[in-house]
Structure 1
């Protein structure tokens, strides 16, 4: 697979936006700054080089408030959880749900078209067929647990990875928006003292979670978090960390000391919450009731299942899938494995939730910044417009939202036309799943339909 320069730049800019002291690479004219750029971050280095857990925001919290806030949230009634999974690079939706019944499909993709005899029929539209690699989603859809958007996007689509992803992350086609759509929701409905209410299961904070005022957190896997001090190990290490947490709660009028003690408090808060998930040598200490695929993405989903089962007060979670979906070339070699890896891991995560009795509390939204062009370029596909998205879970309505528009009439750039808008999906998720008025989060919310995404 070969990815374009725009995709590489997009990844670099987001990494820099969330890594203290690195600054941003140069931004080309018209490209938006990532949501959350400049947001205060406290980073804690781990035993594994280059990894970090960070608590963002929380500048106005009193000493000790984070630990107490997390404890209070964990002792309350369990909240619904929304998990946002991003497929980076622009996933080819027509390789997930293939329009094998459209007469132009084989013409536009003479080498990449999926044979009509493979895969699984898609009952809501006889023209479409689940590809074999998407078997995990097909299985869940057959159980009524996947709501399908076969052609989702927005008006006047932008083929830049960076810009289109930014629009999805901020919930608006606004290049100047600074905060993520979930961050804005949490600013309005979240807690002032619970950084685990929003967790980015990646080394960087997801811009979709970037808030203006409430604390949120990022960690790649819970077992990765550690507080390493050269030359200090057990039996001294644990009492030392306990002492750090206690010292962090001491009052002081010195602003420098207050800042240092706040960091100590934040370290102690998250350390206590994540401690049960790792052995002393840094390996996972949790078990799953199901067997996950052997991939980094699947391992992070397994960790999420364990955190939810342990009662951590998570509410909004983001995670990036493995693989690169920017398939300008070599698509037949790379994409099937990436699609299969993602879909199989999502199926296993659903089975994990069901085995733990948590399935009614968790909803997953699976998305990418755009689809691919219907016509292949030889060995791959270029940036397109409308793509696919999926809302997955026991409480998913299991419907098809918007129709597949067909390949006979494309847009002015010869791309697939959108029949649903990602902002309408967000409005419905906010109102039907999170129980919050979308007008306070999504600009122009009243202009969007409210597709039924959640079972009544």
Structure 2
């Protein structure tokens, strides 16, 4: 890999690394040793995962309504969404007589739910204030901007603002933890395996990018006996330029180079024995996260936020073929990650959760569905109040009080409530959460996601 390729491959690390020296990171390790380790891992599902084919009505009356509205789509599935093929869940008594199930591709996820290791967040989405169909039709509702737009709603889920936002809520949570401890920002507290780092970008927090299980590396060193001059060349040092921009770039290059070397050295020097992960892209990303968590002490981190991603959920057509494959990949990856955290003894310390642009319509357009709003999501980990459904799950009908049209669910739980609950678990103070999520006071208490 030449210098230009290195810059391109590690561009996010190069541009966004916290620019701390190795000494600072190690110093912070000693200060943090009295704290318990905690991490949150966001699995972002680009395109808008179909909530109506994630949590499926299982009691006969509700199932019949759901299947009747979706009959044209359901006939295309290879593994039919018949009741006998669905994975019934222990449904909280408050929903009685209604019951729910997961599609057959979520076999391991359903098992995690039944074991109390995973729960479902019902009907969550961006909200500025509680609202309903009446208020929207009467033009009395204060609504998030640019609903149903992919880029804008991805950004809104990650930051509370439409496309062009600078900071994400997980980055702000990490900033708050930095401020509470009084420590300098660290390089490896916010890590992404995907192209976008908005969710984990803050004023003091910058995303560190890893891919294929490691940080960007220059393997040509070995061919030149790890030449000091070659290392100086690739790390842009020494730099004697009087140009301030050139100096800044050189400093960033140097620290990026050192951080990547530190990360890869920590991996190489550690004996990490994890259970096997499937060969899917999302599973390999979660395997990378697992390995990074395994070397947390070498990296000097006690609090971390991660984001991984998978695409393909914009199922306007071909949903019956595409969505089951995506669900199967999620199922294997999430189960493997749970096993990995157990093997590391960190099941209680790490919480995985899903997010997506939006849900989808209950109505179908033939062999697909269209953009929605509220959606159902998963939260997993030993600290989670598992085996339950948080929030609301509107009935599978049209034209009710929470239908924004065509079965687009109007959320009853805000992203702010969801995110603030994760922040509170990480240890962010309540007053700070109210500053990060200014709409919190418009809603009720935070959902009791954790034990």
Indicate the residue corresponding to 1:445 in structure 2: 440
CA distance in 1: counterparts of 2:203 and 2:354, whole angstroms: 25
Higher relative contact order (CA 8 A, sep 6+): 2
Indicate the residue corresponding to 2:209 in structure 1: 218
Cα drift, residue 100 of structure 1: 3.7
CA distance in 2: counterparts of 1:305 and 1:336, whole angstroms: 25
CA distance in 2: counterparts of 1:273 and 1:401, whole angstroms: 38
Aligned partner (choices 113, 116, 125) of residue 83 of structure 2: 116
TM-score of the aligned structures, taking structure 2 as reference length: 0.79
CA distance in 1: counterparts of 2:437 and 2:13, whole angstroms: 27
Cα drift, residue 394 of structure 1: 0.7
Contact 2:404 2:410 in 1 (8 A): no
Cα drift, residue 166 of structure 1: 1.3
CA distance in 1: counterparts of 2:192 and 2:199, whole angstroms: 9
Aligned partner (choices 238, 247, 259) of residue 269 of structure 1: 259
Indicate the residue corresponding to 1:106 in structure 2: 67
Are residue 423 (structure 1) and residue 416 (structure 2) matched? yes
Contact 2:353 2:377 in 1 (8 A): yes
> What pairs up with 1:43-442 in 2 under 5 angstroms?
54-57=13-16, 65-75=20-30, 76-77=32-33, 78-101=36-59, 102=62, 103-113=64-74, 114-124=81-91, 125=95, 126-155=98-127, 156=143, 158-170=147-159, 172=160, 177-190=165-178, 192-202=184-194, 204-223=195-214, 225-227=216-218, 233-237=222-226, 239-240=228-229, 255=244, 256-257=246-247, 259-277=249-267, 288-311=273-296, 312=299, 313=301, 315-321=304-310, 323-398=311-386, 399-408=388-397, 409=400, 411-414=403-406, 415-437=408-430, 438-442=433-437
Cα drift, residue 213 of structure 1: 3.4
Distance 1:209 1:249, change over 3 A: farther
Indicate the residue corresponding to 1:19 in structure 2: none
Cα drift, residue 129 of structure 1: 0.7
CA distance in 2: counterparts of 1:327 and 1:89, whole angstroms: 8
Cα drift, residue 378 of structure 1: 0.8
CA distance in 2: counterparts of 1:145 and 1:356, whole angstroms: 16
CA displacement, residues 187-209 of structure 1 (integer Å, 9 cap, x when unaligned): 3333544121101112x242111
Cα drift, residue 244 of structure 1: 6.9
> What pairs up with 1:22-33 in 2 under 5 angstroms?
none
The alignment of Structure 1 onto Structure 2 pairs a total of residues equal to: 399
Distance 1:221 1:246, change over 3 A: closer
Higher helix proportion (structure 1 or 2)? 2
Contact 1:222 1:274 in 2 (8 A): no
Distance 1:286 1:111, change over 3 A: farther
CA displacement, residues 134-178 of structure 1 (integer Å, 9 cap, x when unaligned): 1222111111111211221234461111121111110x2566643
CA displacement, residues 207-232 of structure 1 (integer Å, 9 cap, x when unaligned): 11122234431122343520256xx5
CA distance in 2: counterparts of 1:163 and 1:89, whole angstroms: 12
Contact 2:215 2:263 in 1 (8 A): no
Q: CA RMSD in A?
A: 3.1
- Partner secondary structure for residue 144 of structure 1: coil
TM-score of the aligned structures, taking structure 1 as reference length: 0.78
CA displacement, residues 267-309 of structure 1 (integer Å, 9 cap, x when unaligned): 1122122234369xxxxx9754311111122112112111211
Indicate the residue corresponding to 1:35 in structure 2: none
CA distance in 2: counterparts of 1:66 and 1:343, whole angstroms: 39
